[in-house]
Amino acid sequence: MKNGKRGAEAPIGIFDSGIGGLTVLKELRRELPSEDVVYFGDTAHLPYGTKSKETITRFSLDNVRFLRAQGAKMVVVACNTASSLCLDVLKERFDVPVIGVIEPGARQALSVTRNGRIGIIGTKATIGSGSYEACLKRLDPRVKVYSEACPLFVPLVEEGWLDGDITQRVARSYLEPLRSFKIDTLILGCTHYPLLARVIQKTMGSRVRLVNSAEETAKEARQLIVRLKLRREGRPAQADMRFYVSDEPEQFRVSGERFLGRPVQSVAKIGDHLAPARASSRRTTETASIAELLTGHVRDRS
């Protein structure tokens, strides 16, 4: 391992496809302020939500191997798509605790709904997997579940388009069908989506409760760390955060500072531990999708 710390002194590892996992990191810092954290954003392969299960599993295995090489004593899969499709594989393959974001979010939604009608938004892969619905039904068979894939939300967040006319139009296009089902709770089933919470709340209305699975995931991480006697003792000011990405470190640094509200001293671009990136094709596809919106071709789904 590159990081020589062991046991309770070792860091917690977090990975996501981009900056979305910072929503989990932010909550984790509140729950466990003394813990060192290593964060990896697989920005070269963003977004995960449009890729196959086999591809997402391969990327996720590589991500955890990298975090283990940094000495991670626990890994938080801060990506709903990876949590949906390959969490069990990761748990079986590695000798450290691995937790995801699906069940914590489902439990929180069930605790706050008043009418038992819960909506879910996420990537195509997350919604297609049916993982949230299966988890909700397992915890409460009586619940009514309605879902909607929102594939353009991730590129909008990564590009920093958190508000404005285009983002609001995309949100209305995706979310208005859910309003017709009279849900009172909406699970933000992608760790990028809390960054769009203001627009989503405005579109859904004040009576709909938004559930951010990052909060419950951080609480679960704290409980597990304590139970396994791996909690690090020390002053929060001594805690270290290290950031790694597979592409575009400067863009990640700027976006990370804006979201975290604190300086991000450095973001390192890692070597070739992952398969060769096809970031250019990713950008082309997403730019084309957003370009359609700019020319007024927003599909009316209401």
**Closest-CA residue to 154 (of 242, 45, 269):** 45
Copy the structure tokens of residue 195.
């960054």
Strand bridging mode 241-245 / 37-41: parallel
Structural contact between residues 77 and 99, judged by C-beta atoms closer than 8 angstroms = yes
How high is the pLDDT of residue 278? 37
Mind listing the domains of the chain with CATH numbers? 9-101+215-285 (3.40.50.1860), 114-213 (3.40.50.1860)
Residue 152: phi, psi to the nearest 5? -80, -10
* pLDDT tens, residue by residue, 210-252: 999 898 899 999 999 999 999 998 777 678 999 999 999 999 9
Copy the structure tokens of residue 129.
């997997």
How high is the pLDDT of residue 258? 79
Residues of the chain whose pLDDT is less than 70? 1-4, 237, 271-302
How high is the pLDDT of residue 3? 55
150 is catalytic: no
How high is the pLDDT of residue 298? 38
* pLDDT tens, residue by residue, 153-182: 999 998 889 999 999 999 999 999 999 999
Question: CA-CA distance, 108 to 298, in Å (whole number)?
Answer: 33
How high is the pLDDT of residue 11? 96
How high is the pLDDT of residue 237? 67
How high is the pLDDT of residue 288? 41
- DSSP track, 107-176: HHHHHH-SSSEEEEEE-HHHHHHTHHHHHHHHH-TT-EEEEEE-TTHHHHHHTT--SSHHHHHHHHHHHH
Residue 13: phi, psi to the nearest 5? -100, 140
How high is the pLDDT of residue 284? 36
Residue 264, amino acid: V
Copy the structure tokens of residue 131.
């993982």
How high is the pLDDT of residue 5? 72
Q: Which of 79, 86, 135, 150 is catalytic?
A: 79
Q: Which of 86, 135, 150, 190 is catalytic?
A: 190
pTM for the predicted model, two decimal places: 0.83
